[in-house]
């Protein structure tokens, strides 16, 4: 069940999902007897990217789990482009307003990849609300040529989609993002998620909402170098966990001092020591082989390696500064093993999102089935469903 929360700033309303230990699906109220974890997603995707964490008993039986969609993403609707400058600092402010509206006084902040920028800025601007900060594959100060190539390829297709309004190009976009972010092209679970994201984008295009959506996610992707300064992050007075994927061999070729997060961890702990406190920050590397033409491991580790990632997250959230991660700072990444979702995406919410008078049945004023919806979208050129081949990876 997707619910909405009113916030003072534009766009005025944000969709969110909440799981509590007593009501794991469709909760609308925080359980004050348990700590709360806010999971912040990256652009283009939506809050359901964290379904492996929402469905894991090691988390959902011990924490309130909360995810809020970025403006225009998921079930958030934007009829007109969002006015003003769209930055990660602004998104952090929106999420903070959402937390205030839910009556939250303290939260554990978690972000993945570019989506780590919102919790970073929130931790700097509102340290009083932060219980801990976990950053999974946060962007560095510089990007390799292969990463720049991936973004350039995706941006080029995005520009063409915006200029032509061709919905078929969205499938190409989604496929590029899947390979760039996960290193996978044939995994059925990940391909299914990629297809769902494409359908969402096509639905937004059908309703004339793709341009506002595009304006948000492109602005945030281009704002990916806007992390707070190392000096600001080094002054954080809360437990910090940095989880970074490292390609085998790369860790031997570069000096640790070149990694901005190594330097920040050292500075946070030095400041804590000067105050008579135990170490507050740690960096844990997940070492694996490059699995894509972008010479990288998966960027979306919370999705592709949920068992490993969730185990690290649980250890840190429960024990913070006494976590074993402070002494055991490296793990093998292993092979991609995404978790199949147990709780299907709320079909009613999808219908509500897509439902439009022009798509409704003349007699019933509603679309009865997903097949009806797809046929109607095909009629208007909003989606193209073709027969596809299925590829299955077999590990020897």
Q: Of residues 73 and 345, which shows the higher confidence score?
A: 73
| Mean pLDDT on 127-132 | 97
Give yes or no for a cis peptide into 11 (omega within 30° of 0).
yes
CA atoms within 13 A on the CB side of 231: 0
Residues 267 and 365 in one domain: no
Count CB neighbours of 368 within 10 A: 10
Domain for residue 162, yes or no?
Answer: no
pTM above 0.85, yes or no: yes
Domain for residue 241, yes or no?
Answer: yes
Residues 253 and 368 in one domain: no
Rounded-to-integer distance, Cα 111 and Cα 137, Å: 9
* Among 332, 361, 391, residue at a domain's last position: 332
Rounded-to-integer distance, Cα 154 and Cα 178, Å: 11
| Mean pLDDT on 104-120 | 98
- Residue 391 pLDDT level (bands cut at 50, 70, 90): very low
Residue 22 has pLDDT above 70, yes or no: yes
pLDDT at position 358 is: 42
CA atoms within 13 A on the CB side of 258: 8
pLDDT at position 363 is: 27
Residues 320 and 230 in one domain: yes
Residues 91 and 49 in one domain: yes
Q: How many domains does the chain have?
A: 2
Residues 309 and 230 in one domain: yes
Q: Quote the mean pLDDT of the chain.
A: 85
pLDDT at position 292 is: 78
Domain for residue 24, yes or no?
Answer: yes
CA distances in angstroms from 158 to 71, 300, 346, listed in the order given: 18, 20, 28
| Mean pLDDT on 212-228 | 95
pLDDT at position 295 is: 80
Domain for residue 199, yes or no?
Answer: no
Record the tokens describing residue 72, joined without a space. 């225009």
Record the tokens describing residue 258, joined without a space. 């070149």
- pLDDT tens-digit series, residues 287-316: 998 887 888 889 999 999 999 999 999 999
| Mean pLDDT on 94-102 | 97
Residues 367 and 230 in one domain: no
pLDDT at position 182 is: 94
pLDDT at position 100 is: 97
Candidate ranges 201-205, 256-260, 329-333; pick with highest mean pLDDT? 329-333
**Above pLDDT 70, what percent of the chain?**
84
- Residue 385 pLDDT level (bands cut at 50, 70, 90): very low
Residues 356 and 324 in one domain: no
The CATH number linked to 98 is 3.40.50.1820
Residues 126 and 60 in one domain: yes
Check if the beta carbon of residue 80 is closer than 8 Å to that of residue 212: yes
Check if the beta carbon of residue 307 is closer than 8 Å to that of residue 156: no
| Mean pLDDT on 135-158 | 87
Coil, strand or helix at 230 = helix
pLDDT at position 206 is: 85
Residues 231 and 377 in one domain: no
Domain for residue 372, yes or no?
Answer: yes
Residues 249 and 363 in one domain: no
- Residue 277 pLDDT level (bands cut at 50, 70, 90): very high
Domain for residue 28, yes or no?
Answer: yes
pLDDT at position 146 is: 81
Record the tokens describing residue 315, joined without a space. 């250890």
Domain for residue 172, yes or no?
Answer: no
- Residue 48 pLDDT level (bands cut at 50, 70, 90): very high
Q: What is the CA radius of gyration of the chain?
A: 21
Residues 269 and 362 in one domain: no
**Above pLDDT 90, what percent of the chain?**
67
Residues 229 and 377 in one domain: no
pLDDT at position 143 is: 81
pLDDT at position 345 is: 62
- Residue 346 pLDDT level (bands cut at 50, 70, 90): low
Check if the beta carbon of residue 40 is closer than 8 Å to that of residue 302: no
Residues of the domain holding 125: 3-143+225-332
Residue 361 has pLDDT above 50, yes or no: no
* Among 275, 301, 332, residue at a domain's last position: 332
Q: How far is CA 5 from the centre of its chain?
A: 19
Domain for residue 151, yes or no?
Answer: no
């Amino acid at each position: 069940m997707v619910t909405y929360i009113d916030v003072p700033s534009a766009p005025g309303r944000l969709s969110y999902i909440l799981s509590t230990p007593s009501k794991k699906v469709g909760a609308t109220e925080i359980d004050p007897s348990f700590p709360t974890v806010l999971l912040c997603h990256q652009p283009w995707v939506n809050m359901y990217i964290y379904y492996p964490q929402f469905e894991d008993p090691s988390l959902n039986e011990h924490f309130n789990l909360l995810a809020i969609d970025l403006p225009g993403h998921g079930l958030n609707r934007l009829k007109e482009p969002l006015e003003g400058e769209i930055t990660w600092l602004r998104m952090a402010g929106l999420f903070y307003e959402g937390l205030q509206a839910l009556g939250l006084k303290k939260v554990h902040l978690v972000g993945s990849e570019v989506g780590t920028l919102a919790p970073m800025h929130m931790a700097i601007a509102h340290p009083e609300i932060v219980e801990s900060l976990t950053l999974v594959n946060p962007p560095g100060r510089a990007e390799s040529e292969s990463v720049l190539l991936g973004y350039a390829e995706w941006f080029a297709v995005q520009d063409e989609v915006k200029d032509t309004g061709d919905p078929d190009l969205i499938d190409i976009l989604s496929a590029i993002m899947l390979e760039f972010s996960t290193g996978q092209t044939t995994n059925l679970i990940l391909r299914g998620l990629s297809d769902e994201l494409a359908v969402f984008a096509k639905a937004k295009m059908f309703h004339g909402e793709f341009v506002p959506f595009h304006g948000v996610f492109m602005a945030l992707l281009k704002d990916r170098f806007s992390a707070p300064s190392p000096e600001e992050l080094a002054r954080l007075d809360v437990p910090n966990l940095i989880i970074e994927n490292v390609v085998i061999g790369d860790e031997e070729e570069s000096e640790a001092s070149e990694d901005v997060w190594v330097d920040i961890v050292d500075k946070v702990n030095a400041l804590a020591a000067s105050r008579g406190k135990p170490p507050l920050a740690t960096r844990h590397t997940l070492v694996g082989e490059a699995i894509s033409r972008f010479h990288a491991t998966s960027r979306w580790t919370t999705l592709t390696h949920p068992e490993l990632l969730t185990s690290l997250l649980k250890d840190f959230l429960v024990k913070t500064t006494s976590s074993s991660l402070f002494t055991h700072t490296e793990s093998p990444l292993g092979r991609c093993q995404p978790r199949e979702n147990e709780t299907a995406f709320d079909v009613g919410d999808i219908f509500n999102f897509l439902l439009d008078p022009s798509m409704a049945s003349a007699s019933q004023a509603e679309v009865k089935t997903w097949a009806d919806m797809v046929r109607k979208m095909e009629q208007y050129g909003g989606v193209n469903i073709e027969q596809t081949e299925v590829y299955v990876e077999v590990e020897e």
